Amino acid sequence: MTATSAAPRLGLRANAAQFLLLVVVNALVGGVLGTERTVLPLLGAREFHLTAYTAALTYILAFGATKAVTNFFAGTLADRYGRRPVLLAGWLVAIPVPLLLIWAPSWGWVVAANVLLGLNQGLAWSTTVIMKIDVAGPHRRGLAMGLNEAAGYLAVAGTALATGALAARYGLRPAPFLLGAAYVAVGLGLSALLVRETRGHAHHEAATHRGGAHHGGLTTRRVLALVSWREPALSSASQAGLVNNLNDGLAWGLFPVLFAAAGLSLPRIGLLAALYPAVWGLGQLVTGPLADRVGRKPLIVVGMLTQAGALGLIAGAHGFGGWAAGAVLLGAGTAMVYPALLAAVGDVAHPAWRARAVGVYRLWRDGGFAVGALSAGLLADLVGIRGATWAVAGLTAASGLLVALRMYETHVRPAPAG
C-alpha cells in the first residue's frame, strides 16, 4: 500500500461514522453536566441551607477553575500522547461524580465532586472538539463545531428538564444523579470500544498546510501568548469566550434561585433551566454552517450583543413569560457565538499546534465559569440577583464591541473550481 493511499482522508463525508460517534459521545459528556443545572442550586438552598450567593456558587467556581486549567493541559496532552487516551481519562475521572453528589453529607463534598466534573469536562469535551476539527478538514469546520456543540448542549437541556421532573417526583437526591451515572457508563464504553485515534488526520493536514502568519514549530509558551493577547483574532475569541461562559455561570448558579424565590414550581424552574441550552443547542445546527457562509466575526459580534439584550430582559422581567423569552434570546445569542469562536481558532491555528490553541482558548473560555461564579456571587450579595444580571449585561455588550473593533475575519472560503 502506498503512502498516499494510506493517508487519512479529511472531510465530514469521508469520516461520517466516526464523526457521528463523536457527536454521540459529546452528547453524553453534556448530559453529565446537565444533571446539575436544575437540581444543584436548589440543593444548596434547601438541603445545605446556604444563604450567601457567593458561598452557594463555590461549586461553579471549583468546576470552572478546574475545567479551565484542564482544557489547557488536554490540548497539550492530546498533541503529545494522542486524542483517545485523553478522552478515556476524562471518562474515568467522572465515575465518582454522581456518587459524591448522591451521598454528600456537606457542601464540601459537592465542591469536590465539581472539581472532578471539571476534570471530566475539560478532558472529554475538549478532546471531542479537537477530534472533530481533525477529521472535518478546513472547509466545513463551522458545521462540525455546530454539530458538536449542538449535541452537547441539547443533552444539557434535555437532562436539565428530565432532572427537574425526577426531582419533583422523587426528591432532589438520588434520582437525578442516577441519570448521570448512566451517562458515564455508556460514554466510557463507547469511547473504549469504538472511538478511533484522529491525531494522524492533523498530521496529514499539517503536511499539506499552505502556511500562514505563524508556522507549525511553535512552543507551548508562544501558543499561549498568541491565543491570550498577541494574535488579534485568537485573543478576541478568548475574551469573548470568557464573557460568554461568565453568562452561563450566572444562568446556571443564580437564575434557578431567582425563579424559586418568585414561587415557581420545580417543573417550571426545570423548563426555564432547559430553554436556554435547548435553543443554544438547536440554534447551532443553523449557526454552525452559517459561519461557513457569512464568516465568523459577524456571528460573534451579533451574538454577544444579543446575549446582552437577553440578560437585560431577564433582569427586568417578573414572571415566567418574560424569563422564558429572555432564556430563548440568551440561547439564540450563545448559539451564534459558540461554533463561530471555535471555528475561528481552528482557522488561524496551524494544524501542528491547533490542539494546544484550542486548549488555551478553552482555558480562557471556561475560566469564565470561575470568574462568573465569583463576580456574580459577590455582586448578588451586594445588589441582588437582578443587579448582578444588569452588570453582566453591560460587560457582555462591551465584549461584543471589542470583537467588532479588534477581530479580523478568519474564514477564507475556497476558490471556485476552474
Residues 316, 339: contact at Cβ < 8 Å?
Answer: no
Q: Percent of the chain, pLDDT > 70?
A: 94
Instruction: Give me the mean pLDDT over the 122-143 stretch.
Output: 85
Instruction: Give me the mean pLDDT over the 273-301 stretch.
Output: 91
Residues 116, 67: contact at Cβ < 8 Å?
Answer: no
Better pLDDT: 373 or 223: 223
* Assigned C-alpha cell, 148: 458538536
Residues 69, 122: contact at Cβ < 8 Å?
Answer: yes
Give the pLDDT of residue 218.
Answer: 82
Label residue 313 by pLDDT band (50, 70, 90): very high
Q: Model confidence over 354-406: pLDDT tens digits?
A: 888 988 998 999 889 888 888 888 999 999 999 999 999 999 999 999 999 99
Instruction: Give me the mean pLDDT over the 94-105 stretch.
Output: 97
Residue 131 to residues 99, 216, 279, 316, 338, Cα–Cα distance (Å): 29, 18, 25, 41, 17
Give the pLDDT of residue 352.
Answer: 80
pLDDT at 41 over 50: yes
Give the pLDDT of residue 213.
Answer: 52
Proportion of the chain in helix, strand, coil states, percent, rounded to 5: 80, 0, 20
C-alpha span between 141 and 147 (Å, rounded) = 10
Give the pLDDT of residue 416.
Answer: 47
Residues 341, 237: contact at Cβ < 8 Å?
Answer: yes
**37-51, 147-161, 198-212, 266-280: which range is least confident on average?**
198-212
Mean pLDDT highest for which of 106-115, 145-154, 282-291? 106-115
Residue 342 burial class via C-beta count within 10 angstroms: exposed 0-12, middle 13-18, buried 19 and up: buried
Give the pLDDT of residue 418.
Answer: 42
Give the pLDDT of residue 270.
Answer: 87
pLDDT at 4 over 60: no
**135-149, 226-240, 277-291: which range is least confident on average?**
135-149
Instruction: Give me the mean pLDDT over the 122-146 stretch.
Output: 85
pLDDT at 5 over 60: no
pLDDT at 1 over 70: no
C-alpha span between 410 and 296 (Å, rounded) = 7
Give the pLDDT of residue 209.
Answer: 57
pLDDT at 167 over 90: yes
Label residue 263 by pLDDT band (50, 70, 90): very high
* Assigned C-alpha cell, 67: 475545567
H helices of 317-353, in order, are: 320-348
Average pLDDT over the chain reads: 89
Give the pLDDT of residue 130.
Answer: 87
Instruction: Give me the mean pLDDT over the 278-302 stretch.
Output: 92
Instruction: Give me the mean pLDDT over the 139-151 stretch.
Output: 82
Q: Which one, of 174, 175, 151, 152, lies nearest residue 162 by Cα?
A: 175
Q: Is the alpha carbon torsion for 52, 58, 60, 64 positive or negative?
A: positive
* Assigned C-alpha cell, 174: 438520588
Give the pLDDT of residue 239.
Answer: 97
Label residue 220 by pLDDT band (50, 70, 90): confident
Residues 273, 38: contact at Cβ < 8 Å?
Answer: yes
Q: Model confidence over 168-210: pLDDT tens digits?
A: 999 999 999 999 999 999 999 999 999 999 888 877 777 765 5
